[in-house]
Homo-oligomer: A and B are copies of this chain.
Amino acid sequence: MSRFFMNERETLVEQALEGFAESHSGLVDVHPDPLFVTRRTPTTGKVALLSGGGSGHEPLHTGFVGQGMLDAAVPGDVFTSPTALQVRAAIQAVDSGEGTVMVVKNYTGDVLNFSIAAELLADTHRVEQVLVDDDLATEREDDGGPGRRGTAAVVAVEKICGAAAEAGVPIAQVRDLGRRVVARSATLGVSFEACTNPETGRRSFELEPGEMEFGVGIHGERGIQTRVIGKADDLVESLVSRLVEAVGLRRSDSVLAIVNGLGATHGLELAVAARQTRRVLDGQGIDITRSLVGPYVTSLDMKGLSITLTALTDDLVKFWDAPVRTPALVW
């Protein structure tokens, strides 16, 4: 049995945003119609950084609105892209003349709606897009299918572009920096138990005892394979090895590792995964220069985790380390 705690499905996202905004009233404002979230204290004279997408991935993106990260987040309904009209209104609200960089996770719906919004504003606003497509599981030798999904690398993109924008870096460079982070990142996810559909109360899939889904995204969908669950260390090793290869990491390279909980994964479990991530990389002479461990890009209450590696350079480290003050990330 499983169940989503709410009043009614219709008002879920709206009420959650109200509650969220009240709990962080010093940091963010919610604009109700069309719906989007901005910093409480707008920062002008800098490139505006905006992201968004379906809800159900909290703290992404609304939890990353604030100084040093996003200027606005545009939440859709659960697992549903926001509309172009929402995105347009958010851009209009935060663009203070230096242009807007939109961080878009690569899903057909998001790409459509964010692109339409940018087109609607083509005459009056400069809008650039960073498309995040880090999920290795969806890599295919294909004819222009939807391509890799955008998952937890989006946190690195938002943090680094956010710091750059805050530092006054101009729009083209903020965009290129974001694209560079994407190009240097890869993610793989696994799930031990599916998430609860808030409408039906049912899990998005069922697993037999001892089975897991390998290569899941962040929308409750099955992965690319059902596998037997082994030891944590073996699974983490197989994930990390593929990421190292995909990112093209070599001995003495330096990485950011994001060990991300998909919703119902406990801190003890994530810590065990983080431990082995470090050991596997150590074994290959790769240095975890920075890491982030926790539920940052969730898939409702899915039990599972993803690991993201981003190859670092000195300037990326500098932007990662720059101060940030948002509901979900503070340093």
Contacts and interface: CB of A to CB of B under 8 A. Distances in A.
Interface stretch (A89-97, A112-120, A245-253, A259-267): A259-267
Nearest to A270: B19
Interface string A48-83: 000000011011000100000000000000100000
Interface residues on A, range: 35 or more
Nearest to A331: B330
B229 A3 contact: yes
A303 B267 contact: no
Instruction: Determine the main DSSP class of A at the interface with B.
Output: mixed
A191 to B, nearest CB: 10
A63 B218 CA distance: 26
Contacts of A63: 267
A22 interface: yes
A23 B291 contact: yes
A208 interface: yes
A20 interface: yes
A216 to B, nearest CB: 14
Oligomeric state, in copies: 2
A264 B263 contact: yes
A140 interface: no
B305 A5 contact: yes
A31 interface: no
Contact of A267 (B7, B58, B274, B291): B58
A41 interface: no
Contact of A301 (B276, B300, B303): B303
B19 A265 contact: no
Interface stretch (A9-17, A130-138, A146-154, A174-182): A9-17
Contacts of A192: 2-3, 5
A10 to B, nearest CB: 12
